[in-house]
């Protein structure tokens, strides 16, 4: 939301400013911004190699922004030097023409900047703005664009220009949905993971439609579409930065695997062949953490991706993790699909760990008991907006208490934290906002405390709606597993997880109560972990006595 206001304010103010600068000046600035944006679009991939060889994650975004700003500055300076006069129009016609030119200049300027920013290795959400709310929105291409859609305006200009002037190598042909592509490239397993893959480490030995016999053998639900199999081999690499991962696992989401077709479509894999034998469907938010295997003498990750595309379409380009791309339109369809051993494919030891959870609590209502597994900590940038709101409300409550204003003037209100606790939570909120990251065990109590009301009933109503409307969408982007506990407070079967530190978040709510528990647990590779959540792990406990 913050980014939305910044973009809208810039466009309005810039249009008003150019309304007073004269129509010719505004027109020249519009031409400079258009040429600079078009130039940056045409060369950022080719000119990114120096940065790609050192910092692959930043290569495309930094190159695009540098070319855009340098070209815009040089062209604008040249116009100032060559064109010394201006066009004289009556006052208001001049202001209207200048304002119109200024508006479109602002759309190109802010749109180009936003395109460059979306190429950078940033979280999916930027200053409270996320182009796609869920993985389902990304899969169905249902975006929620910026107000006035300046980045969409710029990419539409690119499509028009490149389609008309760049011929067979047009930008729009190989990047038919750039904004969706840039968002998908940032939709990673974890924020700290690499968002780029050195092109030299990707090899595609086979990419072609599967015959009907193989589709039936693998039990692939074709749904009347053409089934394309793309085999990828990702080498580990030797030295930084020419490595696909600096750890023992290659991490990616299906959103980072894309197939561009000749008809201008961009598709994500519907699934893959596990160990080259069994079709396994995928969702875009299913994290894949693959171990490297020795194949033909090299440490590689081999996967057989399955894409479903229209019958009259053909594969054009295969992309993986932003910077690695292979032209698959020619030469690969005639290759024979080599049969590999099951041991040549990832064995997925990372996902062989398991976690059992038991909730030991009394007086549970008949309401469902939900469980989410989330990483034990998060970047404050991902929760900064909700933390700022929580801090502001805690500050208002604290000032009301100190000022003796009813109903907060009472030091003991049934069902709410006392004065000392409000002051403590407010100070905690201020401290957390200054940190780079923090554990949920510190964040969640502050967020819940900020929603307390004047009595138990009011607190229950506020916290229940706050949890549903504000916290759950934030936590949903972090969660790695979601389950429901049975009547005995246990999981029906263990949760498969990769090794790491997690928080077990359990909650239940009804019209008469809201309870939330939080417990930390460490899961070791290949091991079985268990955790018992007890009454002392509650961070929220509001109940109305009948």
Residues 457 and 509 in one domain: yes
Average pLDDT over residues 252-266: 94
- The parent domain of residue 127 ranges over 2-185
Tell which wins on pLDDT, 72 or 512.
72
Tell which wins on pLDDT, 480 or 529.
529
Instruction: Determine the pLDDT at residue 166.
Output: 43
Instruction: Determine the pLDDT at residue 167.
Output: 45
The total number of structural domains that make up the chain: 3
Q: What is the pLDDT of residues 339-360, one digit of tens each?
A: 999 999 998 777 778 899 999 9
Average pLDDT over residues 511-522: 92
Average pLDDT over residues 499-505: 90
**Cis amide linkage into residue 460, ω under 30° from 0:** no
* Residue 420, both tokens: 């000392």
Tell which wins on pLDDT, 380 or 196.
196
Residues 194 and 255 in one domain: yes
From 324, 330, 332, 223, select the one nearest 270 (Cα to Cα). 223
**Cis amide linkage into residue 18, ω under 30° from 0:** no
The distance from CA 144 to its chain's CA centroid, rounded to whole angstroms, is: 14
Tell which wins on pLDDT, 122 or 28.
28
The pLDDT of residue 408 is above 60: yes
Q: Is residue 282 very low, low, confident or very high in pLDDT (cuts 50, 70, 90)?
A: very high
Task: End-to-end CA distance of the chain: give it in Å, rounded.
Answer: 41
- The winner for highest mean pLDDT among 80-94, 310-324, 357-371 is 310-324
Average pLDDT over residues 520-528: 87
Q: Which residues pair with 353 in a beta bridge?
A: 497
State which of 347, 365, 394 marks the end of a domain.
347
Instruction: Determine the pLDDT at residue 66.
Output: 97
Q: Is residue 527 very low, low, confident or very high in pLDDT (cuts 50, 70, 90)?
A: confident
Q: What percent of the chain has pLDDT over 90?
A: 56
Instruction: Determine the pLDDT at residue 190.
Output: 60
Residue 104 is given by DSSP the state: H
The pLDDT of residue 8 is above 60: yes
Residues 222 and 310 in one domain: yes
The pLDDT of residue 162 is above 80: no
Residues 6+ apart with CB under 8 A from 221: none
Instruction: Determine the pLDDT at residue 102.
Output: 95
The pLDDT of residue 392 is above 90: yes
Residues 375 and 287 in one domain: no
Q: Is residue 91 very low, low, confident or very high in pLDDT (cuts 50, 70, 90)?
A: confident
How many residues make up the chain in this entry? 546
Average pLDDT over residues 265-292: 92
Q: What is the mean pLDDT of the chain?
A: 88
The pLDDT of residue 13 is above 70: yes
User: Contact at 8 Å (CB) between 527 and 353?
Assistant: yes
Residues 383 and 502 in one domain: yes
User: Contact at 8 Å (CB) between 276 and 304?
Assistant: yes
Q: DSSP labels for 245-265?
A: -SSSEEEE-GGGEEEEETTS-
Residues 325 and 473 in one domain: no
Tell which wins on pLDDT, 152 or 336.
152
What CA–CA distance (Å, rounded) separates 491 from 532?
Answer: 11
The pLDDT of residue 370 is above 90: yes
**pTM metric for this prediction:** 0.70
Between 91-119 and 178-186, two packed helices, what is the crossing angle to 10 degrees?
40
What CA–CA distance (Å, rounded) separates 64 from 60?
Answer: 6
Average pLDDT over residues 191-209: 86
Average pLDDT over residues 135-146: 88
Instruction: Determine the pLDDT at residue 522.
Output: 93
Residues 427-437 as b or e (16 or more Cβ within 10 Å = b): ebbeebbeeee
Average pLDDT over residues 64-72: 97
User: Contact at 8 Å (CB) between 228 and 270?
Assistant: no
Q: Which residues pair with 338 in a beta bridge?
A: none
Q: What is the pLDDT of residues 447-483, one digit of tens each?
A: 999 998 888 888 899 999 999 999 998 888 788 888 9
Q: Is residue 94 very low, low, confident or very high in pLDDT (cuts 50, 70, 90)?
A: confident
The two beta strands, 298-309 and 226-235, are antiparallel
Q: What percent of the chain has pLDDT over 70?
A: 93
Residues 331 and 359 in one domain: no
Residues 217 and 310 in one domain: yes
- HEC secondary structure over 299-313: EEEEEEEEEEECCCC
State which of 122, 151, 185 marks the end of a domain.
185
The pLDDT of residue 192 is above 60: no
The pLDDT of residue 256 is above 80: yes
H helix intervals, 141-232 = 150-165, 171-174, 178-186, 212-218
State which of 185, 204, 239 marks the end of a domain.
185
Residues 433 and 335 in one domain: no
Residues 261 and 172 in one domain: no
User: Contact at 8 Å (CB) between 205 and 338?
Assistant: yes
* Residue 258, both tokens: 């894309």
Average pLDDT over residues 244-248: 80
Instruction: Determine the pLDDT at residue 124.
Output: 81
From 509, 510, 530, select the one nearest 519 (Cα to Cα). 530
The pLDDT of residue 517 is above 70: yes
Residues 411 and 477 in one domain: yes
The Cα-based distances of 20 to 81, 93, 98, 99, 110 in angstroms read 21, 11, 7, 8, 20
Residue 336: how many CB atoms within 10 A of its CB? 8
Instruction: Determine the pLDDT at residue 416.
Output: 62
Of 98-107, 113-122, 183-192, where does mean pLDDT reach its minimum? 183-192
Residues 137 and 229 in one domain: no
């Amino acid at each position: 939301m913050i980014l939305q206001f910044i973009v809208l304010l810039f466009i309005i103010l810039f249009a008003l400013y150019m309304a007073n600068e004269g129509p010719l000046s505004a027109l020249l600035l519009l031409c400079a911004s258009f040429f600079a944006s078009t130039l940056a679009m045409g060369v950022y991939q080719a000119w990114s190699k120096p940065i790609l060889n050192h910092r692959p994650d930043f290569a495309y975004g930094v190159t695009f922004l540098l070319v855009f700003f340098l070209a815009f500055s040089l062209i604008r300076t040249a116009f100032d030097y060559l064109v010394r006069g201006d066009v004289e129009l009556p006052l208001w016609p001049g202001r209207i023409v200048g304002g119109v030119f200024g508006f479109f200049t602002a759309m190109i300027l802010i749109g180009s900047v936003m395109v460059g920013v979306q190429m950078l290795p940033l979280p999916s959400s930027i200053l409270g703005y996320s182009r796609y709310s869920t993985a389902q929105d990304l899969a169905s291409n249902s975006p929620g664009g910026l107000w006035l859609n300046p980045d969409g305006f710029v990419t539409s200009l690119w499509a028009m220009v490149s389609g008309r002037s760049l011929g067979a190598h047009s930008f729009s042909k190989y990047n038919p949905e750039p904004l969706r592509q840039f968002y998908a490239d940032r939709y990673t397993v974890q924020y700290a993971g690499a968002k780029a893959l050195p092109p030299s480490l990707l090899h595609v030995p086979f990419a072609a439609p599967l015959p009907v016999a193989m589709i039936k053998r693998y039990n692939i639900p074709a749904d009347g579409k053409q089934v394309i199999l793309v085999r990828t081999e990702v080498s580990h690499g030797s030295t930084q930065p020419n490595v696909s991962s600096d750890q023992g696992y290659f991490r990616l989401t299906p959103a980072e695997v894309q197939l561009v077709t000749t008809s201008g479509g961009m598709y994500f894999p519907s699934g893959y062949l596990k160990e080259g034998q069994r079709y396994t469907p995928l969702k875009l938010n299913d994290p894949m953490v693959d171990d490297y295997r020795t194949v033909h003498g090299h440490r590689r990750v081999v996967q057989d991706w399955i894409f479903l595309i229209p019958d009259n379409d053909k594969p054009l380009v295969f992309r993986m993790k932003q910077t690695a791309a292979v032209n698959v339109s020619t030469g690969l369809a005639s290759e024979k699909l080599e049969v590999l051993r099951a041991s040549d494919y990832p064995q997925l030891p990372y996902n062989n760990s398991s976690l059992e959870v038991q909730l030991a609590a009394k007086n549970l209502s008949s309401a469902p008991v939900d469980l989410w597994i989330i990483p034990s900590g998060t970047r404050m940038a991902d929760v900064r907006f909700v933390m700022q709101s929580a801090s502001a409300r805690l500050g208002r409550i604290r000032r009301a208490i100190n000022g003796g204003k009813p109903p907060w003037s009472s030091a003991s209100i049934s069902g709410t934290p006392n004065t000392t606790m409000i002051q403590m939570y407010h100070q905690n909120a201020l401290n957390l906002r200054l940190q780079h990251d923090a554990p949920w065990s510190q964040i969640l109590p502050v967020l819940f405390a900020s929603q307390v009301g004047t009595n138990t009933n009011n607190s229950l109503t506020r916290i229940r709606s706050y949890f549903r409307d504000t916290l759950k969408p934030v936590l949903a982007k972090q969660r790695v597993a979601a389950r429901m506990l049975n009547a005995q407070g246990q999981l029906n079967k263990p949760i498969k997880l990769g090794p790491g530190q997690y928080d077990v978040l359990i909650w239940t709510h009804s019209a008469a109560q809201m309870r939330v528990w939080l417990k930390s647990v460490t899961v070791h590779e290949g091991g079985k972990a268990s955790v018992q959540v007890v009454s002392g792990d509650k961070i929220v406990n509001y109940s109305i006595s009948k």
